[in-house]
Amino acid sequence: MKVADKAGLTPDYEIENPIQVWHEDHEGITVKWWNEGDRPSIKVPFGNNGIIISQPDVTITGFDVYTDNAVAGNVGAAIYIDDGAENCTLTDNRCGFDNTHDWECGIKVEQVTNATLNNNSCQYNLYGIYLWFEAEDNTITNNTVSNNSSHGIYIYNSNNNNVNDNTCNDNSGMNIYSNNSTSLQATLYG
């Protein structure tokens, strides 16, 4: 990793490959920034996911994850919760912060149940938060999802999700958009 200072985010870690959160015995793991001051920011090359969670019971708290993107339209997600990573929690993370450090998805949850996304900021991406294909029984609360070039919160073929008390505004598409999803409970501010 290389330490740099970019856009006022200090410290700033530049990585070549995504950070994969994995634990051999499948027990819970927590990755948390412990300092009350500066938050760590993770800079990821264009075309990659930032943090990939592929094991259950993982908690990620307090990180800024952005891409070094010279052109709009990066692929990948700042934080990607992958199939099999049940019962994960994302809290107080920032995923994308301007239109030159954007992602396809700020947070993407794919085929996962019982994830909790709370108090995250997903701005200036294509989609802020994306629940993709059979992402079910997840809780999305108190997040700020704004200035995304498509939908703020996009729920695709996923059921029984609780989306409440999020601030969604200035997204080019819908603030919350659901395609073929059932039992969605949603409230938003903005």
138-170 core/surface letters (b: 16 or more CB in 10 A; e: else):
bebeebbbbbbebbbbbbbebbebebeebebee
Percent of the chain having pLDDT more than 70?
Answer: 74
> What is the mean predicted confidence (pLDDT) over 79-103?
90
The total number of structural domains in the chain stands at: 1
- What is the domain extent for residue 50? 2-189
| Count of beta carbons in the 10 Å neighbourhood of residue 187 | 11
Confidence at 43, pLDDT banded by 50, 70, 90: confident
Instruction: Flag whether the pTM goes above 0.95.
Output: no
Give the Å distances, CA to CA, from 59 to 120, 157, 189. 13, 25, 26
**Residue 1: pLDDT above 50?**
no
Q: Report the SS3 class of residue 153.
A: strand
